[in-house]
Amino acid sequence: MGKFDGKCVLICYAGGGIGKAAAELFAEEGATVIVHDDSQEKLDGIGVGEKFVADLRNKEEADKLIEFAVEKGGGKIDVIVNNEDFFKGTAKIEDLTPEQFIELCDLNLKTIWHTLAAFYPKMKAQGGNVNIVNVGHVAGAAGHSKLIDYSSVKAGLYGMTKTIAKEWARFGTVRCNAVNYGPVKFSDDYPSQGPGKKGLKDLTGPMNPFGKAKFNPKDIAKIILFLASDDSKAINAEVINASGGFYTISGE
């Protein structure tokens, strides 16, 4: 018996990295997994789940994804993992263009808004009963030089996570949490959603007082699985820092 037998789990942008690792773990635990990404090429690398291609920056495509997931889930969705984690490189605040900033907001926040807004009437119809897990980053908690756009959208995810938890609590058993990851080593099997992360080196120094980066996407996926399960039913509207102490010196 798996922890998610009979459950429908939708993982957005699951073509690599943490999303792909989470899809595999949910499938191992018996879930009906719906894996989404914005191209078929990305989904071809996943060996589990029902696959759906959509650009969630478009509200109509988000609507179609939710309809597909509800159908495959037998009329409901029990878990939604928003794995939007797009990263476009580094730039100082004075060098970043408005177009670059807006692009990252659209990729990392508008997509989640569209997905949850599309799910809202379905959520009401099923009486709540859903766990939502958003993928954040410690850059949103503490800021990071040359990452004004990425830090800003990940900070914005704080407010979205807590607001959804509060607004939807009246519909029944609804929880919404987020996981901030830190020094994760992406790989060819579990690639990141943007340039710059795949070559992450071991990190030492004052912002990482506990030593080298030792984590991979599966380590973060296990925390997502925990937050989506009844094992964490006492946790709601929280942002969990899963960074091995990274940024501890800065107060996080």
Cβ partners under 8 Å of residue 87, min gap 6: 150, 192, 193, 194, 195, 196, 197
**Active-site residue 120, yes or no?**
no
The active-site residue, picked from 13, 120, 150, 181, is 150
CA–CA dist 219, 71 (Å, integer): 30
CA-based angle 20:103:216, to the nearest 5? 25
CA–CA dist 219, 211 (Å, integer): 17
Among candidate residues 39, 37, 2, the one with its CA nearest the CA of residue 229: 2
Among candidate residues 229, 30, 220, 33, the one with its CA nearest the CA of residue 138: 220
- 3 state DSSP class of 183: coil
Fill in the amino acid letter for 252.
E
Q: Which residue has the tokens 């997994």?
A: 33
Q: Which residues are catalytic?
A: 150
